[in-house]
């Protein structure tokens, strides 16, 4: 009898990794509480192996030629092994003596594929109460998608392709967009308003990308603020030490004391650079928070930052490095 050649796309083809000991998914079936997740995962894994027909009943022994019956038995036994490898020990005893993968699949479905209203209620509650909190945007969004995926398995959306089905799916997408935005922290209020005010409602993925961009900008601004505050604190400490020396009337004659009382040109340059950064950051922060649109003009921002500059400018004038009225004329 001539052997029948089986191609790689044939459901009876077995690759080198198609062994009885393989574990296709990391989920073990324990009962009705996780049957939906297990079933969905196994379907995807078996489809990738081209063996889904063995559990759906579309690839039967009678559907192949007599020359392939032995090969079918081999494949059926391997699929049975894959099923046994992904169920808990308590369920293994009920299927270990079975000889048909399709019958085992149907038996598990009949036993555990029930409408679990308690789990649906739990998912609904978690969905409606989940907030970003201390999580990053990506972590918060991933948790939402995980809950939505499990909910969709238990409560599938209509997929008939009719107009009502499309309207329902569109409505569900809009609801999930609003849910995502409402759970964000208040620091994203400006970006949230921009999304909601768009003439064309963005998709959930587009809204997520916009929020991620806003998060990146906030992190950058926070880093600049921290660096500026650190340098300003250092300058304030230097000013305090100098004031103490002036008030006490101490006038050291040695060169070391003179260098401490009068910083060199490099230190003065660094101070002015930090102060310029403070002005830039203050104005940028006002613009980012939307203060300018509410009547708090650019001049008030410059004046607020200029207060710090005048103070340190006065300190520098005491040291004799610059003219005391230079910065005041610039601010005017």
Torsion of CA 133, 187, 284, 272, to 10 degrees: -40
Q: Which token pair is 25?
A: 């998914």
Question: Is residue 29 helix, strand or coil?
Answer: strand
Contact between 279 and 302 under an 8 Å Cβ cutoff? The reply is: yes
Number of CB atoms found within 10 A of residue 206's CB: 14
Q: Which of 176, 167, 232, 163 is nearest to 207 (CA)?
A: 176
Confidence at residue 116, expressed as pLDDT on a 0 to 100 scale: 73
Do 108 and 130 lie in a common domain?
A: no
Q: How far apart are CA 196 and CA 98, in angstroms?
A: 56
Q: Does residue 205 lie within any of the structural domains?
A: yes
Tell me: do 189 and 202 sit in the same domain: yes
| Rounded distance between C-alpha atoms, residue 179 and residue 127, angstroms | 8
* 3-class secondary structure per residue, 55-92: HHCCCCHHHCCHHHHHHHHHHHHHHHHHHHCCECHHHH
Is 174 contained in some domain? yes
> pLDDT tens digits, residue range 118-176?
888 888 999 889 999 999 999 999 999 989 988 887 788 887 778 888 888 899 999 99
Crossing angle (nearest 10°) for helices 69-84 and 35-48: 140
228 within domain boundaries: no
User: For the CA atoms of the chain, what is the radius of gyration?
Assistant: 35
Asked whether residue 45 is assigned to any structural domain, the reply reads yes
94 within a domain of the structure (yes/no)? yes
Do residues 74 and 43 share a domain? yes
Q: Which residues of the chain have pLDDT under 50?
A: 1, 253, 257, 261-262, 265, 283, 287-288, 291-312, 314-315, 318, 324-332
Is the separation of the CB atoms in 248 and 320 below 8 Å? no
- Assess if residue 179 is contained within a domain: yes
Q: Which two tokens stand for residue 254?
A: 């040695």
Residues facing 29 on adjacent strands: 87
Q: What per-residue confidence (pLDDT) applies to 318?
A: 47
Q: What is the pLDDT of residues 264-301, one digit of tens each?
A: 545 555 555 555 555 555 545 554 455 444 444 444 44
Domain with 134 in it: 117-211
Point out the domain boundary residue: 82, 112, 142.
Answer: 112
Query: How many domains does the chain contain in total?
Result: 3
Among candidate residues 211, 235, 268, the one where a domain is terminated: 211
Domain end among 112, 131, 149: 112
Strand partners for 150: none
Query: Do residue 187 and residue 133 come from a single domain?
Result: yes
């Amino acid at each position: 009898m001539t052997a029948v050649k089986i191609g790689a796309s044939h459901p009876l083809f077995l690759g080198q990794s198609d062994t009885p000991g393989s574990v296709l998914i990391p989920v073990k079936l324990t009962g009705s509480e996780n049957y939906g997740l297990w079933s969905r995962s196994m379907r995807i894994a078996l489809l990738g192996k081209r063996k889904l027909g063995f559990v759906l009943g579309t690839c039967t022994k009678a559907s192949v030629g007599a020359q392939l019956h032995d090969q079918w038995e081999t494949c059926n036994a391997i699929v049975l092994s894959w099923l046994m490898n992904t169920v808990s020990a308590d369920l293994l005893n009920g299927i270990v003596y079975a000889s048909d993968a399709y019958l085992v699949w149907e038996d598990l479905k009949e036993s555990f594929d029930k409408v679990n209203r308690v789990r649906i209620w739990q998912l609904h509650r978690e969905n409606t109460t989940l907030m970003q909190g201390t999580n990053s945007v990506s972590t918060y969004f991933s948790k939402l998608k995980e809950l939505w995926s499990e909910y969709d398995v238990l409560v599938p959306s209509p997929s008939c392709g009719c107009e009502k089905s499309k309207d329902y799916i569109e409505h569900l997408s809009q609801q999930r967009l609003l849910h995502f935005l409402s759970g964000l922290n208040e620091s994203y209020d400006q970006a949230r308003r921009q999304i909601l005010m768009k003439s064309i409602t963005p998709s959930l993925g587009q809204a997520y990308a916009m929020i991620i961009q806003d998060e990146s900008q906030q992190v950058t601004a926070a880093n600049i603020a921290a660096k500026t505050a650190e340098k300003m604190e250092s300058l304030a400490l230097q000013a305090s030490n100098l004031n103490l020396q002036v008030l006490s009337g101490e006038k050291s004659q040695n060169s070391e004391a003179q260098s401490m009382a009068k910083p060199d040109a490099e230190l003065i340059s660094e101070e002015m650079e930090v102060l310029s950064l403070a002005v830039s950051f203050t104005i940028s922060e006002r613009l980012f928070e939307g203060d300018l649109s509410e009547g708090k003009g650019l001049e008030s921002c410059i004046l607020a930052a200029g207060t710090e500059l005048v103070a340190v400018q006065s300190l520098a004038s005491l040291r004799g490095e610059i003219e005391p009225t230079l910065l005041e004329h610039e601010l005017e």
